[in-house]
Amino acid sequence: MMRWIGPLAVFIITAVGAHWATLQYTPSVIMDRTLSTLKNRGISQHAFTTPQRISPSTQVVVRTSPDLFYSLCRYDLSEPGSALRVTMGEWPDYQSLSFFDGDTNNFQRFRGQGETVSVRMVHNKRELPAPDTITSPTPRGVVLLRRLAPTQEAFDAAKEASKEDMCELVTR
């Protein structure tokens, strides 16, 4: 019985360590692959990119909705003094603006209906937050804008409305 305590302790420590490492590093590995895939698909950095309308032939991400208009913006705030200015233009129906950090966390979300939403985002945690400023937990991530557009006509109108959207790198 006593001879099994050492190997059992090593097994438990190894299992706990592997579990901890998986939980710690998997989100950033997933987001790194996602950002790389988005870049390869032509999703702009520091600018919204409007992909095609979701259909069975264009759906590459599980659980995307064909009733929504999506617009994506990759961001990188690793340069000192950089900030991102994001504006979601007016839309008469449901729309949301979601911010995802480099660890896949949705750290901020705004919902707007019939109104424009503007926000400034920084990564420097030491900066005192201004009323219209949010802080990204990581320097890199993705901004996702969604609008309800269940028909081709609504999708075309959402695409037109997206001309008022902005995702741009600015200096403080």
101: Cβ contacts below 8 Å, ≥ 6 apart: 31, 107, 136, 137, 138, 140, 141
Give pLDDT, residue 66: 82
Give pLDDT, residue 56: 60
Give pLDDT, residue 86: 95
- The per-residue pLDDT for range 103-146, each reduced to its tens digit, is 889 999 999 878 889 999 998 766 666 778 899 999 999 999 99
Nearest in space to 90 (alpha carbons), one of 108, 113, 71: 113
Residue 147 sits at the vertex; the CA angle it makes with 143 and 148, to the nearest 5 degrees, is 150
Low-confidence ranges of the chain (pLDDT < 50): none
Give pLDDT, residue 59: 58
Give pLDDT, residue 19: 80
Using a cut of 0.85, tell me whether the model's pTM lies above it.
no
The two tokens of residue 38 are 């988005």
53: Cβ contacts below 8 Å, ≥ 6 apart: 66, 69, 149, 152, 155
Give pLDDT, residue 126: 67
Mean pLDDT, the chain, rounded, equals 84
